[in-house]
Structure 1
Amino acid sequence: MAKQKLVLIGNGMAGMNVIEHLRKLAPDKYEITVFGAERYPNYNRIMLSYVLAGDTKTEEIYINDYDWYERNGVKLYTGQQVTAIDTSAKTVTSSGDAGDLTAAYDKLVIATGSNAFVLPIPGANLPGVIAYRTIHDTNLMKEAAKKYRKAVVIGGGLLGLEAARGLLNLGMKVDVVHIMDSLMERQLDPTASKMLKEALEKQGMNFLLEKQTAEILGEDRAVGLKFKDGTWTTADLVVMAVGIRPNVQLAKAAGIEVVQGITVNDWLETSAPDVYAVGECAQHRGVAYGLVAPLYEQGAVLAKRLAEVDTAPYEGSVVYTKLKVSGVDVFSGGQFMESEDTKAIRVHDDWSGIYKKVLVRDNKVVGAVLFGETSESTRLMQLIKSQADITKMEITALLKESGEAGASGGGTEAVVASMADDAIICGCNGVSKGTICSAIKECGLTTVEGVRDQTTASRSCGGCKPLVAALLKTTLGDEFDGAAAKTTICGCTDISREELVEAIKEKGLTHVREVMNVLGWKNPEGCSKCRPAVNYYLSMINPDTYVDDRTSRFVNERMHANIQKDGTYSVVPRMYGGVTNPSELKRIAEVAEKYNVPTVKLTGGQRIDLLGVKKEDLVAMWADLDMPSGYAYGKAIRTVKTCVGEEYCRFGTGDSMGMGIAMEKRFERLNTPAKVKMAVSGCPRNCAESGIKDLGVVAIDGGWELYAGGNGGVKVRVGELLATVKTEAEVIEYTEAYLQYYRETGNYGERTSEWVERVGIGHIREVIGNPERREELCKRMDKALSVTKDPWKEAIQNDSIKKDLYETIERQ
């Protein structure tokens, strides 16, 4: 039987999701042609904010690369704009990179998505005004950030906040303009919106609320915005994120029924025979969805319809939103505002920055808002979708973490077991429960990584990993092998971090090569991932007897300098607490002159960076400096940033400089699983940015607050309150215990922000807060610190180490 011809207009997430399903359901039924206006394969639009922030490369967000189309017999035309549909002749006409083309179809799927809405105001067409929607837009914003400093994002919704966060990460100062008085007002109630605003302000965003843009100022390029109330603000870059409009012009010109979007029925059929629409361009029962999950739910139904497989009709979606890219966890699902016929269950912990609200109507959950802690989101969405009667549930169980819900809540495994096969597990990539379960059975998958590689589930943000793990266990049942499902050190071995640490202790292993030999490494030499990790774990377990294997360290750590893109190096001496003196400054200046250092820069960690150092000068230069290394390259304690504190500041309530210097001198040269940055602020105004450090200390009246797990990098995370203490000695004590517990339980390469999320701040508080456990941790920390040495003084005094350094330099 000859294959039918299926044409897809739109190479985006919604349309290609239909094709993916269809290739599995009926691989031989259609000859498929895809037209995409963009010059890229199918990519994950949700992940654009990660690309903008610099955390992910463009190629890494491709859902299907070019090889996938070829392997699956799908003809792809990129950079090819469809210009007309003839529903009588059943053809589509296009123009673009492949020239003018006409393609016939038996079935046509329109998935043209949406266009970013551009405000119809003077100046909207000026250079420097961008609508954030595509890879092209993202690249324009990244290029602009290299030249300009001030950005204004118009729109305080999900897309606008993600754009603002990315621009902040690119070093721009960012204003967010929003016409309403609260952020994300379509997803959040006033309480959650206020908390979101406060959290983002701490990250550096500036909000101009209840402002309506009247015009964009400038002649040759945008230079600012003027508002209808007469006020204005400057801008080198203006990003429009004020909403989307279904892209319906093509369908409308073809005579297909269009209201707001292309009108479709429960089978995603349009008013024209054999023509379907799916995704943001479609309007179903009066609703055009702009979120990913509904588009994938539509796609699953349409694929089965095209494959002539029995399926229930599409009857609409319960929408939900998650925001994490801005450094805070936010979830909103179903109805989020109270009404006369709903009852609300609330938890509001202003101290910890956690807010949770569940709305109930007729003993059924109809909506939820979570801020600061969103582990219950999947379970709540399941309750909302299933409309399960919660009469017999403990009300408080609704807001427990899924793993704690026990019999009342059912736990993660109970949640995934109750889901329908077409329920979406991975919202980023539209992977359903049924797809994952089938892959587990058919491909013999036993790990989350295996599921990811086979189905793309968890490949993007990773938030669905617990659900994937639960599906592995429920699908395999008695055959589930917990050992096989573990996360290994790397591909050189089948053992996990926990097994490695235990084996080192039990077998008394003392050398990197010994570990690899005794534990049966597949690659006897190891690799660049496992060798540094094994070296770290050996030194952490036996700090007083282990001899550091310098060959297992990264070259930057061995040379105590960061290699730059031009092949020169960056040298950073230590300045305790960011405090120095004339003698040190003079010495640095003299060394910089002696070695012709081209650039001397102040770092964000309150130190001086000597950039452009020649590799052959490194050893002699450190000898002339005669200052400790600042470890600006190592997995170790980097800096302790301080403000001026009570000694000089009229707001100060504590000696932040003295505290910071004491901490840095105590912990310098301490090896940790990943880099550690700390800060001490002399008052809650937090000028040293203590809230986004691995450990932040803030002086308050009568004591100090310690915040754990903050991160000011690409994935911003606000630190969580670890403890409140009264004395400076207690600050050191609690910091010792915290860092030692991180050293002993953190995975090599895992930042404290990731570690705190994985282990849980509640558990860490319990450990650190226990006097006996804290004392034990401090003793082990004291032992580790007692054997640390200044690496450069040791190198200068030790001929064998000096020789190794010169040999390393020669090899670079």
Structure 2
Amino acid sequence: MTFGNDNPGSGTRERLVVIGNGMAGCRAVEEILARDPGRYSIAIFGAEPRVNYNRIMLSPVLAGEKAFDDIVINTAEWYEENGIDLISGDPVDQIDRATQTVIARSGRVEPYDRLLIATGSDPFIIPVPGHKLPGVVTFRDLDDVDKMLAAAEKGGSAVVIGGGLLGLEAAHGLNLRGMSVTVIHLMPTLMERQLDEAAGYLLKTELESRGQVILTGADTAEIMEKDGHVAGVKLKDGREIPADIVVMAVGIRPATALAKSAGLEVERGIMVDDHMVTSDPAIMAVGECVQHRGTCYGLVAPLWDMCRALADHATDAPTGYLGSVTSTKLKVSGIDLFSAGDFSGGDGAEDIVMRDASRGVYKRVIVKDNKLVGAVLYGDTADGSWYFDLLKKGEDVSDIRDALIFGQAFASGGGALADPNAAVAALSDDAEICGCNGVSKGTVVKTIQGGACSLDAVRSQCKASASCGSCTGLVESLLKITLGDDIQSGPRTVCKCTSFSHDDVRRLIIEKDLRAIPQVMQELHWTTPDGCSSCRPALNYYLLCAWPGEYEDDQKSRFVNERMHANIQKDGTYSVVPRMWGGLTNPRELRAIADVVEKFNAPMVKVTGGQRLDIFGIKKEDLPAVWADLNAAGMVSGHAYGKSLRTVKTCVGSEWCRFGTQDSTGLGVKLEQMTWGSWMPHKFKIAVSGCPRNCAEATIKDFGVVCVDSGYELHVGGNGGIKVRATDFLTKVATEEEAMDVCAAFTQLYREQAWYLERTAPWIERVGLDHIKAGLFDDPEAVAKLAARFRYSQQFMQDDPWAKRAAGEDSELHQHLAEVRPLEFAQ
């Protein structure tokens, strides 16, 4: 019996019905279409009212790093182009095996010749008292993310039950969204199925340093209720943790109810053979819902192997699925973690461990019978693919045993300085490059040889590095190996919403006279309706910089800390940093700070690294009143949260110090009053040291002044933080006025040319110091022109109602600004 459309040239198609519009079901269809596109007439039923998307990328959506459009795998056009009937938002409730039909919730009846079940998994809910309360959510689909985002909008606290992959990713996202987050985990080690105790400790320590509270060995007793809504979690040891939302992320179960009701053989999952066929020969199953050779898989990589075997069987070229070795990566920005295989050790197993405390690196490989059987990497995961390839192949590693822990380049004889591209070249063709999308090295190379000559082209054609991006370096190495000098690196696009680079967007905003975000998106053919969290802040900044005084700052396109003029803290309260010019203060300001601390019960006041006072523990609803009181004392925002000038750090200089050569404090005050309130591509710090002893640490700032007997040495492009960079020497000037003009000119050149979220250090490394010097000094009038443009824009930037001084304006500055008009931006 056949159903569906007639396909000239291939006869009547068989009807394939797929239950499940998720990653496994659609990937199986993709594999079938790649082998025999004319074989089946296909219908796909999906429970969610949307197209297929990458569920493993829900974490970046929650964290604000991606939008839904960024994680769509198969667009509506894909279904249409392949003649697939998508029935979304209408789950199948019944399978009638006797008539070979499925019945959807709407009553729709669909016949099949072959049926594919890809129902995935259901989240496990701990059946403790209160688990059905409003405010208790799981983390499995986009609707769950929307619930968490709605809760985060209101602020407050969240409890995540479960310290596995999903739980930690949920906690990370809610933390970034401004919530105070506590993670409750039953076992003593986070991610105990993937990490050993040492790596789990490092992970716990890192997450705690980001403001999360991690409770291991904690058992949930009940979910507390207040006014019909979740109010917190009570542990069996009596501790109570308040919560406005509780996320259950304790595990998953194969979704087998539909298969079981149809009479298929089910144990923990739907039983399938090596060809992914169930106990009914007409019905196949794939993904998290199945049980194969006694194993149920909850990670994405085995799904791709299953789909390939299923597609082979469905197109009469069976190869069989033999099971998978799995690996794990945590999708939390800034944390590099990889785990694969068996790390339990035991009899006959040998542990090889390397620890580098200064770099925060921990590596452990487990060897048994001269074969690699497990690996745990934290802090440096560059060799994860190589270890995983060795593990899957079961190769003898006795010849490289002594070098195994140091990675592929060293083990292959190249030593620590070996070409990293050579290590990638040595991987076998079936080595996994992209775990998110199940793409092997051979597939990537074939894609490149087929004409994909850039990273974006590879991503669009075979999806390698198109999801979490952690394998981007591997793909770039394969591009270099395969194409050599023919690789099309090209400028980096602003985001996936556009094909234009940052430089192109900045140039076209001026050339086309674009003055609003929607206008930019329309004129430059943005592929998304409203942009994303990457491009909207960038466009807002570029427009603000291009049209000072004319473009109205779009607060919705700013990060929450910038909108609040305060930094969110781990307990959900905020810290406020009023500006102190050059680090100086006076009795009036100190009294105002003391009054605010007492009036609003701030539990702590701390001197910052930039010589300011940080007031902690301010409630969100009190922020306007706090700033009103501080403004009344003449104090403005310190912008400690913003992509803007942060502070100008000074030493006491010649006025007090016996080594001081110039008035560094006075110059610092003048520089800060000139530059405060200026929005930048990224945070910007200045320091002025009164002598070469450099007590203000001017040589690790974005702009640094070191006073000497004969004048002022000016330095640029330094930063502290994780990767410390010392400044480059820019020039030497004789007077304060010259130092201030060069500072204003350099700052404006940075504002006009750098990419959004690019600090001065990477900007200078990208364009070169000679380019900076040429932009400032090749034209004798360049410094004056750039400084004039900077000072003109400042009169508008310093008019922010949150940050504006209440104690009057600098009349001399405003008189000068009135005489300056905007000049053409740098070409």
1:354–1:373 CA contact under 8 A, matched in 2 = yes
1:44–1:429 CA contact under 8 A, matched in 2 = no
Does 2:253 correspond to 1:245? yes
Change in 2 beyond 3 A, CA 1:363/1:75: same
2:353–2:405 CA contact under 8 A, matched in 1 = no
Give 1:158's aligned residue.
Answer: 165
CA deviations 1:423-465 (Å, max 9, x no partner) are: 44222233343443343333x1111111112222222221111
Change in 2 beyond 3 A, CA 1:32/1:496: closer
Give 2:144's aligned residue.
Answer: 137
Could you tell me how far apart the structure 2 residues matched to 1:200 and 1:576 are? 34
| Aligned-residue offset at 1:83 | 0.7
Give 1:71's aligned residue.
Answer: 81
One-letter amino acid matched to 2:349: T
2:409–2:415 CA contact under 8 A, matched in 1 = no
Change in 2 beyond 3 A, CA 1:376/1:570: closer
Change in 2 beyond 3 A, CA 1:183/1:750: same
| Aligned-residue offset at 1:721 | 7.2
Give 1:255's aligned residue.
Answer: 263
| Aligned-residue offset at 1:575 | 3.9
Does 2:186 correspond to 1:186? no
Give 1:440's aligned residue.
Answer: 448
2:548 to 559, 564, 572: 559
Could you tell me how far apart the structure 1 residues matched to 2:231 and 2:387 are? 46
| Aligned-residue offset at 1:274 | 2.2
1:428 to 420, 433, 436: 436
Give 1:19's aligned residue.
Answer: 29
Could you tell me how far apart the structure 2 residues matched to 1:752 and 1:48 are? 28
Give 2:46's aligned residue.
Answer: 36
Alignment of 1:587-606 (within 5 A): none
Does 2:238 correspond to 1:230? yes
Could you tell me how far apart the structure 2 residues matched to 1:495 and 1:39 are? 32
| Deviation larger for 394-403 or 172-181 | 394-403
One-letter amino acid matched to 2:285: A
Change in 2 beyond 3 A, CA 1:407/1:349: closer
Could you tell me how far apart the structure 1 residues matched to 2:293 and 2:765 are? 44
2:65 to 55, 60, 82: 55
Q: Give TM-score, length-normalised by structure 1.
A: 0.69
Change in 2 beyond 3 A, CA 1:189/1:632: closer
One-letter amino acid matched to 1:15: G
Give 1:90's aligned residue.
Answer: 100
| Aligned-residue offset at 1:396 | 3.0
Give 1:207's aligned residue.
Answer: 214
1:348 to 346, 355, 370: 355
Structure 2 SS opposite 1:63: strand
Could you tell me how far apart the structure 2 residues matched to 1:332 and 1:321 are? 5
One-letter amino acid matched to 2:814: I
Give 1:688's aligned residue.
Answer: none
Give 1:485's aligned residue.
Answer: 489
Work out the percentage of aligned pairs sharing the same amino acid: 41
One-letter amino acid matched to 2:488: A
| Deviation larger for 69-78 or 461-470 | 461-470
Change in 2 beyond 3 A, CA 1:237/1:453: same
Give 2:122's aligned residue.
Answer: 115
CA deviations 1:551-578 (Å, max 9, x no partner) are: 9964257638971448999898954588
Give 1:616's aligned residue.
Answer: none
2:17–2:42 CA contact under 8 A, matched in 1 = yes
Does 2:328 correspond to 1:330? no
Give 2:3's aligned residue.
Answer: none
Give 2:814's aligned residue.
Answer: 796
1:128–1:237 CA contact under 8 A, matched in 2 = yes
Does 2:398 correspond to 1:391? yes
Could you tell me how far apart the structure 2 residues matched to 1:754 and 1:133 are? 40
Could you tell me how far apart the structure 2 residues matched to 1:59 and 1:675 are? 26
Could you tell me how far apart the structure 2 residues matched to 1:662 and 1:348 are? 46
| Aligned-residue offset at 1:45 | 0.8
Alignment of 1:550-699 (within 5 A): 554-556=543-545, 559=548, 563-565=553-555, 575-576=580-581, 581=586, 637-639=645-647, 669=675, 674-676=681-683
Change in 2 beyond 3 A, CA 1:566/1:111: closer
Give 2:204's aligned residue.
Answer: 197
One-letter amino acid matched to 1:58: F
1:344–1:360 CA contact under 8 A, matched in 2 = yes
Q: Give TM-score, length-normalised by structure 2.
A: 0.68
Change in 2 beyond 3 A, CA 1:562/1:158: farther
Structure 1 SS opposite 2:27: helix
CA deviations 1:335-376 (Å, max 9, x no partner) are: 123222121221112232111111112222211111112111
2:111 to 104, 122, 129: 104
Q: Unpaired runs of 5+ in structure 2? A: 1-10, 521-539, 566-577, 594-607, 621-631, 651-663, 688-699, 703-717, 727-742, 767-772, 796-809
2:372 to 349, 354, 365: 365
Structure 1 SS opposite 2:52: coil
Structure 1 SS opposite 2:73: coil
Give 2:729's aligned residue.
Answer: none
| Aligned-residue offset at 1:203 | 0.5
Could you tell me how far apart the structure 2 residues matched to 1:310 and 1:188 are? 36
Give 1:316's aligned residue.
Answer: 323
| Aligned-residue offset at 1:208 | 2.0
1:83–1:93 CA contact under 8 A, matched in 2 = yes
1:358–1:365 CA contact under 8 A, matched in 2 = yes
| Aligned-residue offset at 1:125 | 0.5
| Aligned-residue offset at 1:393 | 2.5
Could you tell me how far apart the structure 2 residues matched to 1:394 and 1:428 are? 30
One-letter amino acid matched to 2:462: T
Q: Unpaired runs of 5+ in structure 1? A: 501-511, 532-550, 589-603, 612-623, 643-658, 681-692, 696-706, 711-718, 724-735, 761-775
CA deviations 1:514-565 (Å, max 9, x no partner) are: x99xxxx9x9879999x9xxxxxxxxxxxxxxxxxxx996425763897144
One-letter amino acid matched to 2:255: N
Structure 2 SS opposite 1:393: helix
Number of residues paired by the alignment? 652
2:337–2:379 CA contact under 8 A, matched in 1 = yes
Structure 2 SS opposite 1:392: helix
Could you tell me how far apart the structure 1 residues matched to 2:312 and 2:648 are? 58
Could you tell me how far apart the structure 2 residues matched to 1:116 and 1:377 are? 29
2:370–2:396 CA contact under 8 A, matched in 1 = yes
| Aligned-residue offset at 1:88 | 2.8
1:578–1:606 CA contact under 8 A, matched in 2 = no
Give 1:267's aligned residue.
Answer: 275
CA deviations 1:369-428 (Å, max 9, x no partner) are: 111121111111111112222233363354247599664798654555555555442222
| Aligned-residue offset at 1:46 | 1.1
CA deviations 1:577-611 (Å, max 9, x no partner) are: 887546679999xxxxxxxxxxxxxxx997999x9
| Deviation larger for 461-470 or 659-668 | 659-668
Structure 2 SS opposite 1:256: coil
Could you tell me how far apart the structure 1 residues matched to 2:544 and 2:157 are? 37
Change in 2 beyond 3 A, CA 1:679/1:63: farther
Change in 2 beyond 3 A, CA 1:661/1:796: closer
1:709–1:755 CA contact under 8 A, matched in 2 = no
Calculate the aligned-residue CA RMSD, in Å. Answer: 5.1
Structure 1 SS opposite 2:74: coil
Change in 2 beyond 3 A, CA 1:799/1:185: closer
1:709–1:720 CA contact under 8 A, matched in 2 = yes
Change in 2 beyond 3 A, CA 1:234/1:631: closer
